[in-house]
Structures are given as C-alpha cells and as structure tokens.
Amino acid sequence: MKSHQRKPPGRRAAQLRVALGERAYPIEIGMGCWAGLGEAVARCVPGRRAALVTAHRVGRLYGSAVVHSLRAAGFRVDVFSVSDGDIAKNLGQVERLCRALVAAGSDRETSIVALGGGVVGDLAGFVAATYLRGVSFVQVPTTLLAMVDASVGGKVGVNLPEGKNLLGAFHQPRLVWIDLATLSSLPLRQRRAGFAEIAKAAAIWDAAFFQRLESDVEGLLALDPAVLLPAVRRACEIKAEVVRRDEREAGLRMLLNFGHTLGHAVEKLMRYRKVLHGEAVAMGMAYAVHRSEALGCAPLGTAERLIALLQRAGLPSTLPDFPRQAYLAAIRADKKRRASHVHFVVLRRIGRAQTLPLTPAQIFPPLGRRKSAGGVRRSGRGAHR
C-alpha cells in the first residue's frame, strides 16, 4: 500500500491503495472534490451506467453534485433513495432496491454508487454483491465512521432480527472517494461516533497514532484540516493494511472487531434505536479493555487511558442496564462465534491486540465477578500483530 501527499491539499489531498491484486482499488481523500468524482469512477468501472443509492437527507445535500459529476463523465444515472439508520439494513430494503434496479433496466455493466454513511454503504454493497451475481460498486462515504471504517475492506451486509450483519458478503469496491467537506454538515454526535472507529484503529495497531489522538481529539472533532486529514488517512491506512493481509477475516482481520462483540449486543438489545454504531462500539471497547485487564492480558492503566480518550470525545463508556441473560443471548448470536466460543478481541497494550476464544459466559461473567476483576459497570438504559 502506498500513501503520498498531493499539492495543494485543497482538492484531492491524499491517495492510498488497498493492495489486493486484481481486486485492488484506490482510496481518494480530498476536500471539496466532487467535480473529480465522475472521472475517477469512469477509470475504475466498466460501462457508463450508474445506480446512485443514497439516504434521503444525504441525497438532498450532495446528490445533485454527484449526479452532475457522473453525467459529465458520460454516465447515465438512476437515483434510488433509502431510509437511513441500522433499522433499514434488512432484506426488505434489499428486495426493494433489487426490484427497482430491474425496473430501471440495470445490467451487469451498471455500477452501484453508495453515497452516505455506513448503513447505505453496507446495504448498497450487499445489493451490488448479489444483483445479477455481482456488479461493480463505488463507496462515497459522507460520515466520519464510514470514511475510516465501513467504506474500506469490502465487508457488506444486512441485519436479521436475531443479530447484526448475519447476512453478508465480501465484495470489494472499485473506488472509495472521501470528500472531507461533507463532515461540516454532520452533527457533533455523528462525528463523535466516527471517532470511536479511529480510536479503535489506533488502540489495536499504532501506539504513536493513539498518542497523537490524545493530543488532537478536540481539533479532530472540530474538523481542523491539519488534524482531520492525517487522522482519516492513518485510520484508512491501518484498515487497508489489515485487509491486504487478511481479506476474508481468517485471523488478523478479526482484530478490527475490537469493541464490536458487546457493541453489536447493545445495538441489538436497543433494537437499533437511540444508539449510534460508534457509540455502541465505544461502550464495547470500554468493556473489552476492562476485561483485557481482568484476564491478565493488558497491564493495569490500559483501560483508564483508553476510556479517558473516549470520554474526552464525548462517547459513552458504560453498558445499558439489560439483564445478563439478554447480553449472553446476544453474544451467542455473534457472527464471530465458532461452536461454543467467540473470538473476543482484547488489548495486550495500547497499539497491540489479540483474539481469545472465549465462551459467552467468560466474556460476560456475573456482575460480581466483573466488578471484583475490574469489569466495567453498567449504566442506565439511555445513555495481533
């Protein structure tokens, strides 16, 4: 994977490459760079027909600019709007989108362009992986979380009532196009949720990056370009390197699930309402780092340091007050489960992680044992290399 700065940084500021042989693709990062999107897509996909899939609000903000850029590059563009939020990631939405594509005459040379956050990218990517046994797609993320995590790596999927992302595929995009200017329209709560995934990448992989986040978290959330661009670039570099080494989650890529075992459980138990994915991941990371210390994997003080960073970013660090049996049932439905064990990601220290095969009861022991071993408390419901 190569990374380099481009001058001047006002438009396309950095380019990375996810090195996957014939499935390799670029990640373009810039500021106010919609005009170049169409030509970039044209270089990466067959045909000149595009199906733009976007959420209603995002479409109102940026849909016209994206359609104009694609048409200027010679694309015929059909636009499809979907609901936003994890509750919309379901098979009903998949069927509706696929039937709309059929009605529009979309063929195998139609490329699906996902414009929006992680939900839109996952949903549109899953449709791209399955429509006509697979068509090209492009990720155009507009949230911080999608930019640094969901848009990179080719994991696409939808939820079932029994759990999150239980239906999915590995289907790499042809291009990831990141325009940091879209973050100016993002509420602070959404920026904070995206920061959770940046903190995750640093915590599992790069201690020096984590230290920079400790110095720059407020500037990043305020969208200071001098802080934002390097942080997004580094988070994408980490994700790209992990994916290059383990595309289909045979081992190393599981580290990217740090905080997600309990995070997904929280989302499921809250029925994908009133909690953002990044907020749930922050709760899950706080729990996981406490368990890392309790299990003797991480030195004392690791949890205090990570949780302090999450709290400075305004993220929650305690679990909602659901019964233990409800958490155990949600963990048992985790897609990382193998037989009776779940590959639970723990920290060895800041910047290094590993997976442990644990039973749900070992991951989430009774409250007394969690407290006596330094486990994380629960809050009210609202709130390896």
Q: Is 341 a catalytic residue?
A: no
Q: Is 133 a catalytic residue?
A: yes
Q: Single out the catalytic residue among 89, 159, 191, 197.
A: 197
Count of CB atoms situated within 10 Å of the CB of 271: 11
Q: Single out the catalytic residue among 192, 264, 336, 370.
A: 264
Q: How many CA atoms lie within 13 A of 352 on its CB side?
A: 6
Q: How far is CA 57 from CA 22, 85, 117, 303, in A?
A: 35, 12, 11, 37
Cα 286–289–293 angle (5° rounding)?
Answer: 140
Q: Is 241 a catalytic residue?
A: no
Of 270, 318, 328, the residue nearest 290 (C-alpha): 318
Q: Single out the catalytic residue among 174, 200, 244, 253.
A: 253
Q: Single out the catalytic residue among 28, 237, 247, 249.
A: 249
CA distance 139 to 125: 8
Q: Is 165 a catalytic residue?
A: no
Q: Is 90 a catalytic residue?
A: no
> Is 209 exposed, middle or buried (CB count within 10 Å of its CB: 0-12, 13-18, 19+)?
buried
Q: Is 22 a catalytic residue?
A: no
Q: Is 253 a catalytic residue?
A: yes
Q: Is 290 a catalytic residue?
A: no
Q: Single out the catalytic residue among 174, 200, 260, 378.
A: 260
Q: Single out the catalytic residue among 174, 239, 268, 336.
A: 239
| Packing angle, helices 324-332 and 260-269, rounded to 10 | 110
Looking at residue 379, the DSSP 8-state letter turns out to be -
Q: Single out the catalytic residue among 2, 4, 7, 133.
A: 133
Q: Is 264 a catalytic residue?
A: yes
Q: Is 76 a catalytic residue?
A: no
Q: Are residues 21 and 12 in contact, defined by beta-carbon separation less than 8 angstroms? A: no
Cα 24–153–177 angle (5° rounding)?
Answer: 75
Q: Single out the catalytic residue among 49, 234, 277, 336.
A: 277
Q: Single out the catalytic residue among 12, 155, 171, 191.
A: 155
Catalytic residues: 133, 155, 197, 239, 249, 253, 257, 260, 264, 277
